[in-house]
Amino acid sequence: MLRIPAVFYIASNNSVLVSFTLKIRVMKREVKVSFYLKKSETKQDGKCPVMARLSVGNLSVITFSAKVTVPISLWASGRAAGKSLAAIEINRQLDEIRASALSHYQELSSIKESVTAEEVKSLLLGMASGQETLLSYFRAHNENYDKRIGVNRKKSSANSYRLSLSHLTGFLKAKYKLSDIPFTALDRSFIEKFDLYLRTECGLSPGTILLLTSRLCTITSHAIAEGMINCNPFMGYEPKRPARQQKYLTREELNKLMTTPLINPKHYLIRDLFLFSCHTGISYIDMCKLTDSDISVEEGTVWIKTHREKNGNKYEIPLLELPLNILERYKGVASMGRLLPMYDNAEINRQLKQIATTCGIDRRLTFHVARHSDFSFCLIMNDLQVNYFS
């Protein structure tokens, strides 16, 4: 319902101000946007700055500069009077501010139940002045993150931030028809709706959803630290975590893996790489960068001594018979002094799937499974390695 009355009231400087008020009812709350002259700051040329007064309901009211100046002689009933080009341009700017404010209120009210005049103002002025909003802040974060790849950040982590931003952008467009929102629009309800969107419409696994929402949580933490928002919208949010699965092989499964003849010659190398990781606990990325310089011998024991790629921590691992035999088998095969000829991780996992089928291992086998071993697993390895190279 629209009403366009003229409103008279007394300003703090006792001058009578006349404003033009446009009212619209949205979700049972009355939103008012009106304009008046700030005569206390009249300039020598007779122009006054125009102020906007925005109210949501009866309690939430805020004023701000409309960034427009008007000659006092042109002002009447909250608008520029007359049909001059100057009056038409001034009224166009005021109408644009009014329409934008009402539009932003409707957008915010579609996301959250309670919207304040301050939130509408933040979005209105933020869009106009370049102040950071959620997606623009997220993009800036990712750009800065990319610059640090290879220095103190990983490419894989950067990719996960980009993926999270992409899904968040799609969520806003699909659910709210928005291109961006202010940080103040974030609340627990928004986070839970984003979670549901990823789970149902995108069909993502719990592990992927946990990763994407954790990236958004990191972004909001940065925003809180910079004073953009005062409370954490993730407070009380508990994402569904993937069901825990047994990651290490059983004795029976390991026996099948080590004794079953393989069909594809390539699978023998893949199996050796997997078993090397099983027996040393070294991850895929760290195996890729092992070189002759990482090997040392102390009192007859061969050691691998180097640093983890993930965090730079130093580690030292003594090599027993099976990993030593694997290193000897592929000595000189890899280029650039590397100890092992490594395939791409995705290719290794594809081949491990075929190896598991050949060996009758009825579960998903990935290279990451290899290093999730415990002491009893190592004992199994020591028991089974005797005949592996016979």
- Whether 123 is in a domain gets the answer yes
> What is the full DSSP assignment across 246-290?
--SPPHHHHHHHHHSPPSSHHHHHHHHHHHHHHHH---HHHHHT-
300 and 342 part of one domain: yes
What pLDDT shows up at residue 145? 94
12 and 26 part of one domain: yes
What pLDDT shows up at residue 330? 93
171 and 290 part of one domain: no
- Whether 290 is in a domain gets the answer yes
- Whether 261 is in a domain gets the answer yes
Q: What are phi and psi for residue 24, nearest 5 degrees?
A: -140, 135
45 and 76 part of one domain: yes
Integer Cα distance of 96 and 52 in angstroms: 12
> What residue ranges of the chain have pLDDT lower than 70?
1-29, 126-132, 242-247, 372-390
Integer Cα distance of 382 and 362 in angstroms: 24
Paired tokens of 207: 């592990």
Sequence letter at residue 295? I
What pLDDT shows up at residue 130? 46
Which pLDDT tens digit goes with each residue over 326-372? 999 999 999 888 999 999 999 999 999 999 999 999 888 888 887 76
- Give the residue carrying structure tokens 């969107």: 197
Q: Are 49 and 38 in contact (CB under 8 A)?
A: yes
Integer Cα distance of 293 and 274 in angstroms: 22
- Whether 272 is in a domain gets the answer yes
- Give the domain extent around 31: 2-129
What pLDDT shows up at residue 370? 78
Q: Are 388 and 326 in contact (CB under 8 A)?
A: no
Paired tokens of 164: 């999270």
Q: Are 230 and 355 in contact (CB under 8 A)?
A: no
- Domain with residue 341: its CATH number is 1.10.443.10
* Burial of 102 (C-beta count, 10 Å sphere; 0-12/13-18/19+): buried
167 and 117 part of one domain: no
Structurally, how many domains does the chain consist of?
A: 3
170 and 280 part of one domain: no
10 and 124 part of one domain: yes
- Whether 298 is in a domain gets the answer yes
Q: Are 35 and 78 in contact (CB under 8 A)?
A: yes
What pLDDT shows up at residue 143? 94
Q: Are 122 and 182 in contact (CB under 8 A)?
A: yes
Distance from CA of residue 145 to its chain's centroid? 12
CA distances (Å), 359 to each of 157, 253, 264, 326, in order? 34, 8, 12, 20
pTM over 0.75: no
324: number of Cβ within 10 Å: 13
Name the nearest CA neighbour of 210 among 236, 240, 186.
Answer: 240
